[in-house]
Amino acid sequence: MTEQQASGDGVTGARHGRRPTMSDVAEKAGVSRALVSLIFRNAPGASEQTRQRVFDVAKEIGYRPDTAARTLASSRTRTLGVMLTIRNPFHADLVESCYAEADRVGYDIVLSTTVPTRDEERAVDALVGHRCEALILFGPKMSAAYLTQLSREHPVVAISRKVPDATLDSVHTAEAKGVRQAVDYLVSQGHRDVIHIDGGAGPGSAERRKAYRAAMRKHGLAERIRVIPGNHTEDSGMRAAEVLLSEDALPTAVLAANDRCALGLLGALHKAGVKVPQEVSVVGYDDSRVAMLSHIGLTTVHQNADELGRLAVRTAVERIESPNAPARELVLDPELRVRDTTGPPR
Amino acid sequence: MTEQQASGDGVTGARHGRRPTMSDVAEKAGVSRALVSLIFRNAPGASEQTRQRVFDVAKEIGYRPDTAARTLASSRTRTLGVMLTIRNPFHADLVESCYAEADRVGYDIVLSTTVPTRDEERAVDALVGHRCEALILFGPKMSAAYLTQLSREHPVVAISRKVPDATLDSVHTAEAKGVRQAVDYLVSQGHRDVIHIDGGAGPGSAERRKAYRAAMRKHGLAERIRVIPGNHTEDSGMRAAEVLLSEDALPTAVLAANDRCALGLLGALHKAGVKVPQEVSVVGYDDSRVAMLSHIGLTTVHQNADELGRLAVRTAVERIESPNAPARELVLDPELRVRDTTGPPR
DNA sequence: CTTCATCACTAGAGCGCGCTAGTAGAGCGC
DNA sequence: GCGCTCTACTAGCGCGCTCTAGTGATGAAG
């Protein structure tokens, strides 16, 4: 690493003084603080002329409303808290649709991500601390007990997680249906050795695992059922590949926990010289936009991110407006998207 | 979509009552509010016994400190604002390292992303509204004027963006060096028709474009210089592919604006049946973890995300502590990572 | 005994804003 | 003139917390 002193004004001068407040604007514009407040809230009751002058003054002295003070003073924050895993490309898709819908209904969004050094509880704490009026959790892995407790204290919408006897709203895809489609398709192609890398405690994993077992049994392949433990990261796909490659024979098809897992698996297989789909077919889950774009052409179970995000925001807002309404579960239909990582068995 | 009423308690009961405050905790624990405050700030001056009792009571009634009130009351927020583009996998890498370093130095991080419906200005406004003590901008595309103005009002660290005559701190990779390595390598493999899809107004694009031209000239390939306009999204790679495929002959190598652009390009080439690297070699830029993992095995210019994030946070904190220190520019060396999307020309 | 330090705790101001309850003044009808 | 309405504005409380300047109790030192 090299370090240089920027060639600009060298010493950057006495900057970053006291942050201007509403009173500063009011004083400079020759009006009361209350009027400035009113104007910045877009409330009626100020003349157009004064309004303009206040905005001009504000811009001139670099005034921006203080979110903290606003939040504190008003009972409403009109803010939704979103917990996500930033590494997950599917979550990026969801975030975009959430923003779009939140804009439409006049809410702000605050993001809080989990990273390896920051668990879900910390991410949630940050959102609650910001006084979000509702929490939208993308594929939460937290315990059902914690989730239930949380939903007692705040409006909570879970995406891609079904909670039995739920006291919270959830929006998800019919996991079983997606898995069934995938297995049916693989079997119709002639596959019999279809294995599943599961998502561990990840959202929807239990349902997918169950559905995989059921679908295999339906096709009379109960004896070929095999589940390799995994999770929702690329790493689990790579590890599963190691396991498979260490054995005598590869299965002819693998149903991965999600797209990330599938990508990890593909990477490891590719490194080992295994041809996809000639030697092994691979199916993902999510259809995150990246999977579609890359030249991988991943066959995967499509979840409608736009719709999931939109519904989550709408449900959250409705929950805020009527906290005592019955908990709802919105279920979207998935759809298998056949691309290039699947084909007939070798 | 189907909708079901969750099978739980049906009506969710009278929930989400008034949020408990410090006073509630104080009253229930039989101490003053000030003491509770002190305990939650981890300040000395309370007995171990009382401390424990207060924590117990807080947990029992579900108290969590209100960030807004905290922020308002204290001059410091110990919060760094990070502006990013959530779609960009490289930004995910950066976010992770920022969190890790922020934890180490005792700062919080607030994220604000740009999405198609939310531009950089709005993302920055949100951060400033949250009273972040410094802003860390991942590859900002805003005008130099706006950036300079912003840096006069707040400590600002830009990642991957060099600002001439800077009054702000920046942390980036030696763009030119990376591009030169890539061109040198391609030429050493025998390529002569090396074209460049540029990043438009994206961070570092100007430098990379310039370096590409210089490197080509150095190899006596001035006449082969060709820059296709693009940006930092997958879409631009796909569009560039369209352009190239509509022509008589493909170039033998393409230097993409970044990994996302390279991925889009690879996808489109693959769909058109063009073999990589046999017919065309492709080089990315960033080395986001996804590029490495996928079975793409993208040849790309590695930027050290861990180090970039770490340095950005450190620089931000140092800037907060000494606002008048000279602006700094930290430059890391990039490194070409040769994988599977490059080879000798056809 | 007094003095002083220390510990454990409290009172209360104020952070920047939203919002309710007001007021001053203009315009109007009678 | 009077009362009325309407527009354009203002006063000031309080949101939940931090933080300074305290208080009272205890114990050790002199």
Mean local confidence (pLDDT), A185-204: 94
pLDDT band at residue A190 using 50, 70 and 90 as cut-offs: very high
**How confident is the model at residue A2, as a pLDDT?**
80
Same domain for B193 and B240, yes or no, is yes
Same domain for B277 and B316, yes or no, is no
CA→C1' distance for B26 and D19 (Å): 17
Residue B240 belongs to a domain: yes
Same domain for B98 and B242, yes or no, is no
Show which of residues 93-112 on chain A sit within 8 Å of chain B, judged by CB atoms. Answer: 95-96, 99-100, 103, 108, 110-112
Residue A71 belongs to a domain: no
Return the nearest residue to C14, CA–C1'.
B73
Calpha distance B69→A26 (Å, rounded): 23
Same domain for A114 and A49, yes or no, is no
Cis amide linkage into residue A277, ω under 30° from 0: yes
Mean local confidence (pLDDT), A35-54: 93
The Cα angle at residue A258 between residues A257 and A264, in degrees rounded to 5: 90
Q: Hey, which bits of A67-212 come out as E strands? A: 79-85, 108-114, 134-138, 156-159, 169-173, 194-197
Could A131 and B327 be called an inter-chain contact, meaning their C-beta atoms sit closer than 8 Å? no
Same domain for B202 and B297, yes or no, is yes
CA→C1' distance for A47 and C26 (Å): 14
Calpha distance A202→A91 (Å, rounded): 14
Compare all CA atoms of chain A with the CA of B341 and give the residue at the minimum distance: A295
Same domain for B123 and B199, yes or no, is no
**Nearest C-alpha of chain A: how many angstroms from B191?**
23
Could A330 and B7 be called an inter-chain contact, meaning their C-beta atoms sit closer than 8 Å? no
**How confident is the model at residue A15, as a pLDDT?**
62
Could B15 and A323 be called an inter-chain contact, meaning their C-beta atoms sit closer than 8 Å? yes
Q: Which residues of A touch B168 (CB under 8 A)?
A: 6
Same domain for A132 and A160, yes or no, is yes
Same domain for B287 and B318, yes or no, is no
Nearest Cα to Cα of residue A36 among B291, A28, B341, A296:
A28
Residue A49 belongs to a domain: yes
CATH of the domain at B134: 3.40.50.2300
Q: Which residues of B touch A238 (CB under 8 A)?
A: 293
**Nearest C-alpha of chain A: how many angstroms from B184?**
22
Most B-contacting residue of A125, A282, A293, A308 (CB-CB within 10 A), to test interface: A293
The pLDDT > 70 percentage for chain B reads 95
The pLDDT > 90 percentage for chain A reads 77
Of the candidates B103, B115, B170, the beta carbon closest to that of A99 is on B115
**How confident is the model at residue A131, as a pLDDT?**
86
pLDDT in tens, A255-265: 999 999 998 99
Residue B198 belongs to a domain: yes
Of all nucleotides, the one whose C1′ comes closest to residue A29's CA is D9
What is the end-to-end Cα distance of chain B in Å, rounded?
A: 51
Helix B22-29 to helix B33-40 angle, to the nearest 10 degrees? 110
Could B311 and A166 be called an inter-chain contact, meaning their C-beta atoms sit closer than 8 Å? no
Same domain for B206 and B274, yes or no, is yes
- Rounded alpha-carbon distances, angstroms, from residue A180 to A110, A187, A215, A232: 36, 10, 6, 19
Of the candidates B86, B99, B311, the beta carbon closest to that of A115 is on B99
Joined together, the tokens standing for residue A211 give: 């559905």
Same domain for A287 and A267, yes or no, is yes
Compare all CA atoms of chain A with the CA of B262 and give the residue at the minimum distance: A294
Could B113 and A112 be called an inter-chain contact, meaning their C-beta atoms sit closer than 8 Å? no
Joined together, the tokens standing for residue B223 give: 């006449």
**How confident is the model at residue A11, as a pLDDT?**
43
Instruction: State the DSSP code for A147.
Output: H
Same domain for A200 and A244, yes or no, is yes
Pairing label, strands B194-197, B169-173? unpaired
Of all nucleotides, the one whose C1′ comes closest to residue B23's CA is D16
User: Average per-residue pLDDT in chain A?
Assistant: 91
The Cα angle at residue B180 between residues B297 and B341, in degrees rounded to 5: 20
Structural domain range at position A52: 22-65
Residue B156 belongs to a domain: yes
Q: HEC profile for B55-98?
A: HHHHHHHCCCCCHHHHHHHCCCCCEEEEEEECCCHHHHHHHHHH
**How confident is the model at residue B295, as a pLDDT?**
67
Calpha distance A45→A48 (Å, rounded): 9
How many CB atoms within 10 Å of residue A17?
8
Same domain for A182 and A277, yes or no, is yes
Of all nucleotides, the one whose C1′ comes closest to residue B67's CA is D17
Residue A95 belongs to a domain: yes
pLDDT in tens, B182-221: 999 999 999 999 999 999 988 889 999 999 999 999 999 9
CATH of the domain at A44: 1.10.260.40
For strand D, give the nucleotides within 7 A of a protein CB. 7-12, 14-21
Q: Which residues of B touch A128 (CB under 8 A)?
A: 64
**Nearest C-alpha of chain A: how many angstroms from B220?**
30
Residue B12 belongs to a domain: no
Least confident window among A189-203, A278-292, B89-103, B187-201: A278-292
Residue B263 near chain A (CB below 8 Å): yes
Pairing label, strands B328-332, A2-5? antiparallel
Could B1 and A330 be called an inter-chain contact, meaning their C-beta atoms sit closer than 8 Å? yes
Joined together, the tokens standing for residue A342 give: 């699947």
Residue B107 belongs to a domain: yes
Show which of residues 189-218 on chain A sit within 8 Å of chain B, judged by CB atoms. Answer: none
- Number of folded domains that form chain B: 3
Strand, coil or helix: A239: helix
**How confident is the model at residue A9, as a pLDDT?**
46
Instruction: List per-block mean pLDDT (blocks of 10 residues) for chain B, which spans 346 residues.
Output: 60 62 94 94 90 94 91 90 94 96 93 95 92 95 91 93 84 95 97 96 91 97 97 94 96 96 91 92 91 78 96 96 90 95 93
Of the candidates A12, A95, A103, the beta carbon closest to that of B86 is on A95
CA→C1' distance for A85 and D2 (Å): 70
Half-sphere exposure of B269 (CA within 13 A, CB side): 28
**How confident is the model at residue A143, as a pLDDT?**
92
Q: Which residues does B188 contact at the CB level (< 8 Å), separation at least 6? A: none
Residue B278 near chain A (CB below 8 Å): no
pLDDT in tens, A154-180: 999 999 998 877 789 999 999 999 999
Could A115 and B128 be called an inter-chain contact, meaning their C-beta atoms sit closer than 8 Å? no
**How confident is the model at residue B10, as a pLDDT?**
41
Q: Which residues of B touch A151 (CB under 8 A)?
A: 12, 15
